[in-house]
């Protein structure tokens, strides 16, 4: 996905991360992290479900015991 630089506003949510949001309503759009070539997108922002299935699970040290990763790779902390 590509967004024009004015399409979102962002703020530093950590020393290495930025959260990008809609300037009109404040809804989260995506997250970026220094040194990581991926973005994190909240799947709830899409009108249609099932468009982009997850490739892996992160922060699994905090996962509920009933959560089923359905065979996806699991990582204890953030992005691998």
- pLDDT tier, 5 (very low <50, low <70, confident <90, very high otherwise): low
Residue 5 DSSP label: T
pTM of the model: 0.67
Predicted local confidence at residue 53, as pLDDT: 84
Q: What digits encode the pLDDT tens for the residues 17-73?
A: 999 998 888 889 999 999 988 888 887 888 888 888 888 888 899 889 898 888 899
Domain map (residue ranges) of the chain: 1-44, 46-80
- What pLDDT band is residue 7 in, cutting at 50, 70 and 90? confident
In 3D, which of 38, 36, 39 has the Cα closest to residue 28?
39
Query: Is 3 a residue whose pLDDT tops 70?
Result: no
């Amino acid at each position: 996905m590509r967004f024009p630089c004015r399409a979102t506003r962002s703020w530093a949510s950590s020393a290495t991360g930025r959260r990008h949001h809609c300037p009109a309503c404040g809804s989260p759009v995506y997250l970026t992290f220094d040194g990581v070539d991926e973005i994190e997108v909240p799947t709830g922002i899409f009108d249609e479900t099932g468009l982009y299935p997850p490739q892996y699970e992160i922060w699994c040290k905090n996962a509920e015991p009933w959560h089923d990763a359905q065979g996806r790779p699991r990582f204890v902390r953030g992005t691998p």
